[in-house]
Amino acid sequence: MSKVIDGKAFAANLRQDIAARVAKLKQEHSFVPGLAVVLVGEDPASEVYVRNKGRQTVEVGMQSFEHKLAADTSETDLLALIDRLNVDDAVNGILVQLPLPEHIDKDKVINAIAEDKDVDGFHLANVARLWMGAEGVVPCTPLGCLMMLKDQLGELSGLNALIVGRSNIVGKPMAALLLAENCTVTIAHSRSRDLENLCRNADILVAAVGRPEMIPGSWVKPGATVIADDDCLSSAQHAATGLPPAWHHDAELRQLTDHSPRLCVSSTRRFFARPGAYMLFAIGRFSPQATVVNASGRMPFFTRYSRTAAERRSDSCWL
Cα–Cα distance measured from residue 149 to residue 5, given in angstroms and rounded to the nearest whole number: 10
Catalytic residue among 120, 229, 230, 250: 120
Angle subtended by helix axes 140-153 and 171-180, to nearest 10: 40
* Helix (H/G/I), strand (E/B), else coil: 89: coil
* Helix (H/G/I), strand (E/B), else coil: 164: strand
The answer to whether residue 150 is catalytic is no
Angle subtended by helix axes 7-29 and 44-59, to nearest 10: 50
* Helix (H/G/I), strand (E/B), else coil: 77: helix
Catalytic residue among 53, 117, 172, 221: 53
Half-sphere exposure of 257 (CA within 13 A, CB side): 11
Return the number of other C-beta atoms located less than 10 Å from residue 316's C-beta.
13
First to last CA, the chain: 34
* CB-based contact 141:163 (threshold 8 Å): no
The answer to whether residue 120 is catalytic is yes
The answer to whether residue 152 is catalytic is no
Cα–Cα distance measured from residue 41 to residue 27, given in angstroms and rounded to the nearest whole number: 38
φ, ψ of residue 78 in degrees (nearest 5): -65, -45
Q: Under the phi-then-psi rule, with left for phi > 0, alpha for psi from -120 to 50, and beta for the rest, what region is 251?
A: beta
* Helix (H/G/I), strand (E/B), else coil: 36: strand
Return the number of other C-beta atoms located less than 10 Å from residue 79's C-beta.
16
Catalytic residue among 56, 97, 116, 229: 97
Active site residues: 53, 97, 120
